[in-house]
Amino acid sequence: MTTLADGQLVLIVEDNEKNLKLARDLLRYHGFRTIDAPDAETGLRMASDFKPNIVLMDIELPGMDGVTALERLRADPAIAGIVVVAFTASVMPVDRDRFSRAGFAGIIVKPIDVAIFPRQVLAYCNDLAGDG
């Protein structure tokens, strides 16, 4: 089989171990490299240290939430340009508006659709995705 991705580095910020494991396993299987953080503070530090191609950012996290984390990331010139996608089960229109205004490139909804998830992530890496 041909590998989907070409080693793009994905930072997964997710506090739910089950969600994290599924996303990580799928992405690695399809040729991505992954790193992960269980909270926003750690995620921001890893974004600075490793400059991932994309960040999948859970919204409900212990301590700092994902929207605040995105604001912090955008305020740091060294990492401000990284594509950040909201990784969330919140799909109400009011949430979508909030995430869009906050500057997320889009939303990947949990629970993830295993059949399309790796392609969704790759599309954001390649800046081909629409707004969700």
Query: With binding defined as CB under 5 A, does residue 60 bind Mn ion?
Result: yes
Beta bridge partners of 33: 9
Distance, in Å, from the CA atom of 71 to the CA atom of 56, rounded to the nearest integer, reads 15
Scanning 53-61, 64-72, 79-87, 103-111 for contacts with Mn ion by CB under 5 A, the matching segment is: 53-61
Which among 30-38, 43-51, 58-66, 100-108 is the span making contact with Mn ion, rule CB under 5 A? 58-66
The interface with Mn ion within residues 8-27 (CB under 5 A) comprises 15
**How far, in Å, CA of 17 to CA of 130, rounded?**
28
Considering the complex, what minimum distance in angstroms separates the CB of residue 71 from Mn ion?
A: 18
Total interface residues for Mn ion by CB under 5 A: 3
Q: Could you say whether residue 39 binds Mn ion (CB under 5 A)?
A: no
> Toward Mn ion, which CB reaches closer, 36 or 58?
58
Q: How far is the CB of 101 from Mn ion (least distance, A)?
A: 21
58 binds Mn ion (CB under 5 A): yes
- Is residue 71 close enough to count as binding Mn ion by CB under 5 A? no
Q: 10 Å Cβ neighbour count for 108?
A: 22
DSSP per residue over 73-111, as a string?
Answer: HHT-TTTTTSEEEEEES--SHHHHHHHHHHT-S-EEESS
Distance, in Å, from the CA atom of 34 to the CA atom of 36, rounded to the nearest integer, reads 7
Report the interface residues with Mn ion, using CB under 5 A. 15, 58, 60
